[in-house]
Amino acid sequence: MARAAGVSPATVSRVFNGGNVTPARAQSVQEAAAALGFAPNRVARSLRKQRSSVIALIIPDIENPFFTSLARGVEDAAQRTSLSVVLCNSDEDTEKERRYLEVALGEQMAGVIVAAASRDETDLAPLAARGVPVVAVDRRPRDAEVDAVRVDDHHGGEVATRHLLQAGYRRIACVTGPEGASTSEERLAGYRAALTAARGAGAVDDSYVRHADFRVEGGRAAMRELLSLPEPPDAVFVANNLMTIGVLDALRDAGRTPPGVGVLSFGDVPWASLVRPSLSAVELPSYELGRAAAELLLQRMDGSASPLQTVVLRTRLQVRESTGGPAGA
């Protein structure tokens, strides 16, 4: 290969192992590889390195557009260094997640990016003990000594609830995710903080708070319960995009429609500006989350010994018709 490309064997190695090579030399090697029909033997490479060129991405729900976009960010960053990504769907199930983590260890994967199924039950210590680089993305297990990339969930929940207050809504409910998930807790905390800042201590009525499963049916069931209250909410902050679909479904079945009942979703969806009324949402930088997580993991895989990092990305509020704003605001 080196003779065909007119370079040294070390240069060929760097090209196929993600080292620093000038674009011209990299092109020469790739052209020689194509002409000779050469492909790296990943099994042999793994034996030599004691680690594969594959990373695991463990997420709770690939059907959620948020995680789909996050996965794309991870893959795009990984592909630039010739790493492959194995996608694992935990379904918010800590036992299923544990099995995937064991597979990552058993297959000597180069690293793991995980959106934890539980703040308290997800255990990343075995990976750290074996020296496997790990980055927690979106959700971080409590006390886990790993790098993390997340959005400012508390701030997003606070801004969303403050907007509903400023729009004139008074009985504001919150449909959040499972108890124990860091994102559920932080978004709910932001909701509580906004109500307390506006109305003082004791302003949060817990009868307007519901925990659900981050799925469509969970949002639907939670909204039905809220509508059965003696004084149903006149607005609802929903802590993820899939539950928002269920909330809207329950409102439609009850003959209630936004903005009569304000609806604000934490997490935008591709069709948010197309439905009528258009959906107000807290936009999440999902692709950037995935890309940042992969880049942080790559730094660790390259031997970075810097202190553990937590990268926090900000959200952005999109006000639309479902909270009384104009379309496209």
- Tokens encoding 118: 């539980």
Q: What does the mean pLDDT of the chain come to?
A: 90
Confidence of residue 19 (pLDDT cuts 50, 70, 90): low
Amino acid at position 128, single letter: A
What CA–CA distance (Å, rounded) separates 80 from 310? Answer: 23
- 187-240 pLDDT, tens digit per residue, is 999 999 999 999 998 889 999 999 999 999 999 999 999 999 999 999 999 999
Tens digit of pLDDT for each residue in 115-153?
Answer: 999 888 999 999 988 999 999 999 888 888 899 999 999
Residue 39 φ then ψ, to 5°: -135, 135
Burial class (CB within 10 angstroms; exposed 0-12, middle 13-18, buried 19+) of 66: buried
Half-sphere exposure of 304 (CA within 13 A, CB side): 14
Contacts of 107 (CB under 8 A, 6+ apart): 52, 54
* 266 three-state secondary structure: strand
Residue 71's identity, in one-letter code, is A
Residue 1 is predicted with a pLDDT of: 81
Span 268-309, pLDDT tens digits: 887 888 888 999 999 999 999 999 999 999 999 988 888 999
Q: How far apart are CA 196 and CA 213, in angstroms?
A: 26
The residue with tokens 């607005």 is: 235
Q: Which amino acid belongs to residue 21?
A: V
Peptide bond into 326 cis (omega under 30): no
CB 207 within 8 Å of CB 228: no
